Chains A and B, each alone.
Chain A
Amino acid sequence: MSSLDELVAELTTTGYDALDAEKLKQLKQECKTDTSGQTIVEVFTLLLKALKKTHAQVRISALQVINELFSRSHQFRLLLIRKLPQFIALVLGSYQKKLPPPKRYAEKLKLLAAEHLYTWVEKFGFAYQRLVYAYRYLRYVEKVDFRSAARAYKRTDPERAKRRHEFFVRNRREYMWRTLVAVRADIMTKKLEIERAVAYLNNCFEVLIPDIADMFGVKERFVSRKDKLAALKAENAVGTENSVAKFKAENRNADDEDDLDEILAVMATNRHAIQIEFNPEKALDVEENEDNVAIYDTLRDYLQICVQVYTPLVDKWIERLDQVNDELEVDVAELKSTVRQIKGRLYRTVAKCRDLGIDFAYMDSKKYEDSGDDEFEDVPFIASALEDGKGSQSKKESQTDDRYRKRNQIFALLGETGLESDPTVVDPRKLRYRSENSLLKKRTRDMDSDEQQAQSSNPIEDKLREIAPVVSYDTDLMYWNSDDINANTSGLEIRHRFLGSARDEPKIPSEAARRMRMRAVYLKDLHSHSHPSDAAATDASGEGDSQRREIKACRAPLKSGKLCPRRDLVKCPFHGVIIPRDEFGRPQGQTAETQQLEQDQPQPLETAGADSRQSNEPSSVATAETMDDLRAEDIELLIANKHQLPAATRGRTRRKKGDDSNSSSALINIRKKKPSGISHLRKAVRKYM
């Protein structure tokens, strides 16, 4: 047993990043040969003990050994899984228990532990559920970062990662297949409906806008490019109506064929100039009136279904079909193209409606009631959103005006030009703009007035300005103008059943906020500053405000090497009557005496420790720290001189004595404190006394 003990101790206390392969092999051999399993229990206990040592490097080594055994022995796995919470606290740290120093290695330990845990979960989580629970707990509750561990795992074990990937592929395939089936069924049922709606809309268009191609019987030629030419056709219709009205009127009753022939003939002869005027403000010569109101109503009804139900539906189909690979089934590509066609048709039809000048706003007030499709949300109309987004403020305004003028069917007042000058009407779109402007103006005005006041030299104000305190920026100024101060902006939440789930806005009450805007200002003695001579006089006479007078510190030397900081009027309770002392706390009156002493004793180190500290006096040192350092060096030098020892050898012997238990260790001594002057000195003195 003692050999196991030694083996584990040797493995864990090397301090190197890599384990000693020879010893590790030995340990594994020990565990493997013992069939009773007693060795593994023993080793586990020893490793846990090593893990509890307050040294990050030891813990790293122990963790590495644990990892080696964990991936090999079932019994070891069971043992560790039983002690998992404790293990996690030791290698990852916990809320109350921080990882031990050295800090650099503590960080390393954390990363390594995350990496090992991730690997274990991937490799053994399938058979040991508690590992998975631990992983979920660490990831979701303790928020341990496993990302780098996952990356490292992918690198080290590509085979298993591949298998996992395959599992995902299989899962994904199943998911795609289910999506495809669902979408396909949906398309089958809804496709006809959509097509019917689009057909209705197109019929309405044909009734409202006389199709010139149709009129002239050359529809076949335009069929393929019909949609693209729709606008053009409309222009043609307008143009003919405007310019060749007379010509048309004459031939109203004539045959369509003849019409075209005649027009073509006229154009061919080129004898008459044909002037086509295009009015961009009124591309379509259709207006809603009592004759065609029924058609418009139908149009609106179907348009609403198209915009609010079918468009999102088709978008969703596309979104879901995009997740399906084409090679999954034969008809996927076909299905996709079908859906795109439907979408194209829908969009073109909706665009036509917009060209027709139908105001889409009616949809907001009257929501389409579709019993089955609660899941679809209204999407904001993309085209109008784009229009809103572009251009600067003024440009946008003119554009919106145009837009309103175009579709002046319902909000007739919006496009009216006279409204701007009407004092009773406020344009809400301009309100914000105006308020911003006024704010800006006011601000500049304030600044102007400030300057003016500064220039107009008001003597009282100048004086006030002079004596106004210039204060440093502090929290009071930070909160000066803020009324609502958030209490907890850290986002942290205490995990507590009662307190942890507050949903209220964490605001600091106004009373507390008012106090936060206060600052304690300590008034200086203005009087004594302004009249130093007076102050000196009162001081000398002994009367006056003795409270303001600085009380001298006792400054007697303490055992710690510092000077007594007590401030008493006459007598310090520890060191007696306060007397003037020099920078080392020696009474001023005795200076001459001690100097005499020093001259008598050229080697002050032979006296007692406390004395030597006092009497050794380096000159011209300002702060305590450097003073201490200097003194220590001086002493070392003195000692070296006296004993004729080179400083380096002494250092080595001392280190050897301290660390003789593990001579080859790379462990960092965490118990070693930073060398302070006094301790250094004391050690040196103790050694050579």
Chain B
Amino acid sequence: MDNIARSRARGSIALSTSSQALSTKILGTMALAETKRIAHVHTAPVHSLAIDCIQSRYLLSAGADTSIQLFDLEAHKQTAQCLRQITPLSHVASGSGHTRSIANIEWYPVDTGIFSTSSFDNTLRIWDTNTMAEACQFDLESRIHSHKLSPTGTHALIAAANESAYIRLCDLRTASSTQQLLAHQSGSTALAWSPFQPYILASGGSDGMLKLWDIRQSDSCVSVFGYIPPVPSHKSSNKGESPNRAHIGAVRSISFSTISDRIISTGSDSRVRVWRTNVDRLPSLLLADFSANSVDTEGGSKAGHDNSHNKSWSTCTLEPSLTSILDGTAESEIMFYPNNDKTIAVIEVMTGRHISTLHGHFAPVQCTAWRTKHMELYSSGADNDIFVWCPPAAENLTDEQIATRVDSWSDGN
């Protein structure tokens, strides 16, 4: 870090480069927060986390126990084992809303008064945050894997990816479905709205296809992203790597880059692929392709674990979170990717470089949420607990904590 500062002082590197390098370095030190913790409230795996994008203050969590918890990340109280424990502000009790496991939870992008959940009980529900009561409900007649609202806020359409071949667009204003996109024959698994163009939607299916839509028309698939292996081998042909598939197996998540016109997709083949969206310029859509599996693993039996989990979790949507470091001039983005081996990989998106690996979870991680401007990451998964991560430099340990951390060889000898 001193090196970067010195280079900057000498003027040998540009301002943007130096701050970008610094941010990357700081993010590389991320570890479990020692002074902050979230109370243990869920009794089953947590599938989805959402932090509101207005104040970055309220965290929603939902999962297999069908309860929804709302946390105020500013409020906290002290406990015997932690300096600041965040307890739920309010909640929807288990069983009082959805009847099956909740797959995804999303804030309404322009107002924290509304949030939405989708579940395997085939319903998409809209909730009033102040009363934590259900406002309306859409029945989609098949299990919903994910749903997304456009972050631009120009329309109130919710796109819902379900097990049917169609992606349903539900309108919050009229409380009815407006449109269906014939997307993926075997069901769609992941969705993303463009952060800039309100009518551009990307969808991924359990067949490994990745498509881009313009929802102003119904038969409006703009493009299909296909992965062509650089050296076509005889082996790949029978593995289903046809040119119009983005991943082998299901697409597990799609994210639009917020600093450029790119899409980042992850699949159950543990690959992260970055695609270009402006089709007309370049023939090749694929920009980067790398494995999300980190080299640095905790347990010894990584291979066995990986296989088993890939199978059983193949259709589930992962929620990696993207964070752009620095302003728009620097083209760098960091991705927190929940790995199968109970870790979270911190990856630089364009280069695929593993910055670090976050060790902490005791069961597979399923979702992450990045709290912008606070340098805090929230993650959860099959261990029913929400973990808080932050750079150690951002925390001030108390005297008592420091005293506990000191060696004590003298006693007992």
Contact flags B377-413 to A (C-beta < 8 A → 1, else 0) = 0000011110100000000010011101111110001
Q: Provided the pairs A83-B298, A85-B299, A133-B360 are in contact, do residues A28 and B101 lie with their beta carbons within 8 angstroms?
A: no
Q: Which residue of A126, A168, A497 contacts B47 across the interface (Cβ within 8 Å)? A: A497
In the complex the two chains form, is A74's CB within 8 Å of B407's CB? Answer: yes
Task: Identify the interface centre among B383, B397, B401: most chain A CB within 10 Å of its CB.
Answer: B383
Q: Taking the complex as formed, is A167 at the interface, i.e. its CB lies under 8 A from any CB of chain B?
A: yes
Q: Taking the complex as formed, is B34 at the interface, i.e. its CB lies under 8 A from any CB of chain A?
A: yes
Chain A min CB distance to B110 (Å): 30
Interface size (A, Cβ < 8 Å)? 45
In the complex the two chains form, is B32's CB within 8 Å of A133's CB? Answer: yes
Q: Which residue of A77, A137, A495, A498 contacts B315 across the interface (Cβ within 8 Å)? A: A498
Q: Taking the complex as formed, is B37 at the interface, i.e. its CB lies under 8 A from any CB of chain A?
A: yes
In the complex the two chains form, is B409's CB within 8 Å of A130's CB? Answer: no
Chain A min CB distance to B204 (Å): 17
In the complex the two chains form, is B383's CB within 8 Å of A141's CB? Answer: yes
Contact flags A479-519 to B (C-beta < 8 A → 1, else 0) = 00000000000000001111011110000000000000000
Name the A residues within 8 Å of B316 (CB-CB): 497-498
In the complex the two chains form, is B408's CB within 8 Å of A495's CB? Answer: no
Give the interface segment out of B20-28, B38-46, B175-183, B255-263.
B38-46
Q: Report the bound CA distance from A125 to B400 in whole Å.
A: 12
Q: Taking the complex as formed, is A140 at the interface, i.e. its CB lies under 8 A from any CB of chain B?
A: yes
Q: Report the bound CA distance from A497 to B364 in whole Å.
A: 12
Name the A residues within 8 Å of B80 (CB-CB): 126, 164, 167-168
In the complex the two chains form, is B362's CB within 8 Å of A127's CB? Answer: no
Name the B residues within 8 Å of A134 (CB-CB): 362
Chain A min CB distance to B195 (Å): 28
Q: Taking the complex as formed, is A136 at the interface, i.e. its CB lies under 8 A from any CB of chain B?
A: yes
Q: Provided the pairs A497-B64, A497-B316 are in contact, do residues A129 and B33 lie with their beta carbons within 8 angstroms?
A: yes
In the complex the two chains form, is B342's CB within 8 Å of A85's CB? Answer: yes
Nearest neighbor of A68 in chain B, beta-carbon distance = B412
Q: Provided the pairs A140-B40, A503-B99 are in contact, do residues A498 and B298 lie with their beta carbons within 8 angstroms?
A: no
Q: Provided the pairs A86-B298, A501-B66 are in contact, do residues A73 and B44 lie with their beta carbons within 8 angstroms?
A: no
Name the B residues within 8 Å of A123 (CB-CB): 404
Chain A min CB distance to B353 (Å): 22
Q: Taking the complex as formed, is A333 at the interface, i.e. its CB lies under 8 A from any CB of chain B?
A: no
Q: Which residue of B99, B382, B404 contacts A126 across the interface (Cβ within 8 Å)? A: B404
Q: Taking the complex as formed, is A121 at the interface, i.e. its CB lies under 8 A from any CB of chain B?
A: yes
Q: Taking the complex as formed, is B313 at the interface, i.e. its CB lies under 8 A from any CB of chain A?
A: yes
Name the B residues within 8 Å of A140 (CB-CB): 40, 43, 384
Name the B residues within 8 Å of A132 (CB-CB): 37, 81-82
Nearest neighbor of A493 in chain B, beta-carbon distance = B44
Q: Report the bound CA distance from A134 to B361 in whole Å.
A: 8
Q: Report the bound CA distance from A86 to B343 in whole Å.
A: 13
Q: Taking the complex as formed, is A71 at the interface, i.e. its CB lies under 8 A from any CB of chain B?
A: yes
Q: Taking the complex as formed, is B300 at the interface, i.e. its CB lies under 8 A from any CB of chain A?
A: yes
In the complex the two chains form, is A124's CB within 8 Å of B404's CB? Answer: yes
Name the A residues within 8 Å of B45 (CB-CB): 495, 497, 500
Q: Taking the complex as formed, is B312 at the interface, i.e. its CB lies under 8 A from any CB of chain A?
A: yes
Q: Taking the complex as formed, is A82 at the interface, i.e. its CB lies under 8 A from any CB of chain B?
A: yes
Nearest neighbor of A32 in chain B, beta-carbon distance = B409
In the complex the two chains form, is A72's CB within 8 Å of B404's CB? Answer: no
Q: Report the bound CA distance from A689 to B34 in whole Å.
A: 69
Q: Provided the pairs A28-B413, A500-B64 are in contact, do residues A495 and B34 lie with their beta carbons within 8 angstroms?
A: no
Q: Provided the pairs A124-B404, A497-B47, A503-B100 are in contact, do residues A28 and B409 lie with their beta carbons within 8 angstroms?
A: yes
In the complex the two chains form, is B384's CB within 8 Å of A126's CB? Answer: no
Q: Report the bound CA distance from A132 to B386 in whole Å.
A: 12
Q: Report the bound CA distance from A321 to B409 in whole Å.
A: 49
Q: Taking the complex as formed, is A7 at the interface, i.e. its CB lies under 8 A from any CB of chain B?
A: no
Name the A residues within 8 Å of B47 (CB-CB): 497
Q: Provided the pairs A86-B300, A133-B32, A140-B40 are in contact, do residues A72 and B408 lie with their beta carbons within 8 angstroms?
A: yes
Task: Identify the interface centre among A75, A88, A89, A127: most chain B CB within 10 Å of its CB.
Answer: A127
In the complex the two chains form, is A88's CB within 8 Å of B407's CB? Answer: no
Q: Taking the complex as formed, is B76 at the interface, i.e. its CB lies under 8 A from any CB of chain A?
A: no
Q: Taking the complex as formed, is A278 at the interface, i.e. its CB lies under 8 A from any CB of chain B?
A: no
Q: Which residue of A121, A138, A496 contacts B81 across the interface (Cβ within 8 Å)? A: A121
Contact flags B1-43 to A (C-beta < 8 A → 1, else 0) = 0000000000000000000000000000000111001001001
Task: Identify the interface centre among A28, A123, A133, A503: most chain B CB within 10 Å of its CB.
Answer: A133
Name the A residues within 8 Å of B44 (CB-CB): 495, 500-501
Interface size (B, Cβ < 8 Å)? 49
Q: Which of A178-195 contact B (CB under 8 A)?
A: none
Q: Taking the complex as formed, is B359 at the interface, i.e. its CB lies under 8 A from any CB of chain A?
A: yes
Q: Provided the pairs A129-B32, A129-B34, A137-B383 are in contact, do residues A498 and B362 lie with their beta carbons within 8 angstroms?
A: no
Q: Taking the complex as formed, is B71 at the interface, i.e. its CB lies under 8 A from any CB of chain A?
A: no
Chain A min CB distance to B234 (Å): 35
Q: Provided the pairs A28-B413, A72-B408, A127-B34 are in contact, do residues A501 and B362 lie with their beta carbons within 8 angstroms?
A: no
Q: Taking the complex as formed, is A128 at the interface, i.e. its CB lies under 8 A from any CB of chain B?
A: yes
Q: Taking the complex as formed, is A155 at the interface, i.e. its CB lies under 8 A from any CB of chain B?
A: no
Name the A residues within 8 Å of B385 (CB-CB): 133, 136-137
Q: Which residue of B37, B313, B405 contacts A127 across the interface (Cβ within 8 Å)? A: B405
Name the B residues within 8 Å of A31 (CB-CB): 409
Task: Identify the interface centre among A86, A495, A501: most chain B CB within 10 Å of its CB.
Answer: A501
Nearest neighbor of A122 in chain B, beta-carbon distance = B81
Q: Which of B33-92 contact A (CB under 8 A)?
A: 33-34, 37, 40, 43-45, 47, 64-66, 80-82
Chain A min CB distance to B94 (Å): 10
Task: Identify the interface centre among B37, B99, B101: most chain A CB within 10 Å of its CB.
Answer: B101
Q: Which residue of B81, B101, B300, B409 contacts A72 across the interface (Cβ within 8 Å)? A: B409
Q: Report the bound CA distance from A502 to B342 in whole Å.
A: 25
Chain A min CB distance to B102 (Å): 9
In the complex the two chains form, is A74's CB within 8 Å of B406's CB? Answer: yes
Q: Report the bound CA distance from A72 to B408 in whole Å.
A: 5
Name the A residues within 8 Å of B384 (CB-CB): 137, 140-141
Q: Taking the complex as formed, is A151 at the interface, i.e. its CB lies under 8 A from any CB of chain B?
A: no
Chain B min CB distance to A34 (Å): 12
In the complex the two chains form, is A85's CB within 8 Å of B64's CB? Answer: no
Q: Taking the complex as formed, is A25 at the interface, i.e. its CB lies under 8 A from any CB of chain B?
A: yes
Q: Which of A570-627 contact B (CB under 8 A)?
A: none
Name the B residues within 8 Å of A129 (CB-CB): 32-34, 37, 82
Q: Which residue of B64, B65, B360, B397 contacts A130 across the interface (Cβ within 8 Å)? A: B360
Q: Provided the pairs A28-B409, A126-B81, A496-B312 are in contact, do residues A133 and B404 lie with their beta carbons within 8 angstroms?
A: no
Contact flags B296-311 to A (C-beta < 8 A → 1, else 0) = 0011100000000000
Q: Taking the complex as formed, is B215 at the interface, i.e. its CB lies under 8 A from any CB of chain A?
A: no
Q: Taking the complex as formed, is B127 at the interface, i.e. its CB lies under 8 A from any CB of chain A?
A: no
Nearest neighbor of B404 in chain A, beta-carbon distance = A127
Nearest neighbor of A83 in chain B, beta-carbon distance = B298
Q: Taking the complex as formed, is B228 at the interface, i.e. its CB lies under 8 A from any CB of chain A?
A: no
Q: Taking the complex as formed, is B156 at the interface, i.e. its CB lies under 8 A from any CB of chain A?
A: no
Name the A residues within 8 Å of B370 (CB-CB): none
Name the A residues within 8 Å of B401 (CB-CB): 126-127
In the complex the two chains form, is B299's CB within 8 Å of A86's CB? Answer: yes
In the complex the two chains form, is A126's CB within 8 Å of B101's CB? Answer: no
Q: Report the bound CA distance from A168 to B382 in whole Å.
A: 31
Q: Report the bound CA distance from A85 to B361 in whole Å.
A: 8
Contact flags A221-248 to B (C-beta < 8 A → 1, else 0) = 0000000000000000000000000000
Name the A residues within 8 Å of B360 (CB-CB): 130, 133
Contact flags A60-72 to B (C-beta < 8 A → 1, else 0) = 0000000000011
Q: Which residue numbers of A lie inside 8 Å of B, CB to CB?
A: 25, 28, 31-32, 71-75, 77, 82-86, 88-89, 121, 123-130, 132-134, 136-138, 140-141, 164, 167-168, 495-498, 500-503
For the complex of A and B, list the 10 residue pairs with the smallest distance between their C-beta atoms, beginning with the closest: A127-B404, A501-B101, A127-B401, A137-B362, A125-B81, A32-B409, A137-B383, A501-B64, A127-B405, A167-B80
User: Please, could you name 9 A-B residue pairs with CB atoms under 8 Å apart, sorted by A?
Assistant: A85-B362, A86-B299, A123-B404, A126-B401, A129-B34, A495-B382, A498-B120, A500-B45, A501-B44
Q: Contacts A85-B362, A498-B143, A498-B316 given; 5 further ones with Cβ under 8 A?
A: A127-B402, A132-B37, A132-B82, A167-B80, A500-B45
